[in-house]
Structure 1
């Protein structure tokens, strides 16, 4: 070896430095991991405390169900992307009056943007499966008026507009390749999807393996829902193997989009999660199951493996929810989806903290592979 030939240790050092830089970026944040911030509670911490909590994690996005100014302002200059929402009750006014949409944007976006990184406005939540035909017919006009208001404010290419759907918009989802939308909703969906293609906005959906398990509580189904070792399920339509319910549900949505010719539209998971407790007659809620689902989901997203029909990328995913919400109606599980307690401590650890220990473990694992 002559003097110009780099030594083996030097090569290793270069690899180590590159790995360290990559890891630090990895540990800083994952833009595809988000969280829902529901506020149906009487014991939430102050907005600044919530903002500081989020900044101490690798969470890159937050979804609000409304447009709480205190939270939006608290997240200014944090780099955290923010989804804000117009409520179902706002839709008739937004649909009928372009000025009302302009006023909504003027009140809820312009005072905060761009310091607060608002990236998406959701108009309505699960409207198409609400059974309210009047609201359904007004949904797309309301979305168009909000989009036009953004365009007028020169924000049309920077902030997207969408609406959030439950999985009930599909009448077929198993196997995933057979995914199809409810025929009764297809006229509205085609109008909506045409708008979304023109404006490059995502279809946002709420897949919950938790609810799938409640309707099929076999042990093998639980493992399939929790990303735990299982024999998997082969899609009889295309032969692809699924090892978890999340991928199966997301791909069913992709198949439904493809069936209508809109396979190019991005899918965003607006909600998914697992409760840590529930009523005695509920199947599935527990700390162990919640930790397994959310922790394994995060690891799955970080792997960037994607789904069988959409490999090599992770869909933007908002985990439900940041905190437990003690005032929510319904079964006990509805009040127990929080990743964090309202005293800002973790409900259970799913690896979201910006931790030097995580970096060390990641480096040790990959350094071991380099020197072998």
Structure 2
């Protein structure tokens, strides 16, 4: 697949929710899977010309991290799903990962979050899911050992929308029972460390499953009549806001 526009995907960064408050901002996901990408320096220059405040990398590409140094743009880097077992079972591997992917670049490159794994609950691998929290804890410990704890750099993971069993309308949001124990531990970690609960919202897939006449405009932030949640009487004017509220509603319970 060719990419003609820097492979900066999505105008809205993965929604980051804290247990006590939301943090509104604009950001982009910076993908590297393409065959005609410009150099990272050009991408960094482009980003500086915009109002984007954060960039999420799906990995920890050193060229991109260095290109974003001294730009003031906050960076989320990722540890891959394949790294999770090693991070969970071997604290020395976690220390090495932090020493390689974080320490050489911080604070010039404003790394603010490490996302350990991506959408792990979507793969149905119970072993991998059970290793996620230990991996996050070991990365947190490694950051503290490198004097990068205390809120300087936080640790979380990125979830898929389907961790919710019910989500339409937003007031019915509830996590899937089969993920309850794992999510309870992850949420406790988020709460204890002050790290965000991160989720990838996918309005497009919601559109695929809901072909009412106004749905396309509702997903694209275009003029539409909006949709009222019959339980809360709140009116939503776009799919993105409704999906975010799925999670905010759940956190009230």
- Counterpart of 1:210 (choices 183, 204, 222) is 204
CA separation in 2, counterparts of 1:224 and 1:177? 18
Unaligned runs of 5+ in 2: 1-23
1:215-364 pair list within 5 angstroms: 215-259=209-253
Matches of 2:69 and 2:140 in 1, distance apart? Answer: 23
Paired with 2:127 and 2:92, the residues of 1 have a C-alpha distance of 21
Q: TM-score, normalised by structure 1?
A: 0.60
Alignment-derived partner of residue 175 in structure 2: 181
Mapped contact 1:85–1:124 kept (Cα < 8 A): yes
Matched, 1:37 2:57: no
* Residues 170 and 179, structure 1, Cα contact 8 Å, conserved in 2: yes
* Distance in structure 2 (CA, Å) of the matches to 1:84 and 1:243: 32
**Which residue of 2 is the match for residue 131 of structure 1?**
124
Query: What is the CA distance between 1:195 and its match in structure 2?
Result: 0.6
Give me the whole-angstrom Cα distance separating, in 1, the residues matched to 2:30 and 2:41. 14
Number of aligned pairs?
Answer: 229
Alignment of 1:62 onto 2:55 = yes
2-structure distance, mates of 1:225, 1:120 = 28
Structure 2 equivalent of residue 47 of structure 1: 40
Residue 77 of structure 1: aligned partner: 70
- State how far apart, in whole Å, the 1-side matches of 2:133 and 2:175 are: 17
Structure 2 length as normaliser, TM-score? Answer: 0.88
RMSD: 1.1
Q: Shift of the alpha carbon at 1:165?
A: 0.6
Q: Which ranges in structure 1 are unaligned for 5 or more consecutive residues?
A: 1-30, 260-372
Deviation, structure 1 residue 256: 2.2
Partner of 1:267: none
**SS of the residue aligned with 2:221?**
coil
Are 2:96 and 1:103 equivalent residues in the alignment?
A: yes
Residue-by-residue CA offset, 1:107-131 (whole Å, 9 max, x unaligned): 0000000000000000000001211
Query: In 1, distance between residues paired with 2:152 and 2:46?
Result: 26
Q: CA deviation at 1:229?
A: 2.0
CA deviation profile, 1:178-204 (whole Å, cap 9, x unmatched): 100001001000000001000000000
1:293 match: none
| Equivalent position of 2:16 in the other structure | none
Partner of residue 135 from structure 2, selected from 117, 133, 142 = 142
What's the offset of the Cα at 1:243?
1.4
Q: Which runs of 4+ in 1 moved over 3 A?
A: none
Q: Is the 8 A contact 1:170 1:256 kept in 2?
A: no
Distance in 2 (CA, whole Å) between partners of 1:243 and 1:52 is 34
Query: How far apart, CA to CA, are the structure 2 residues paired with 1:37 and 1:154?
Result: 27
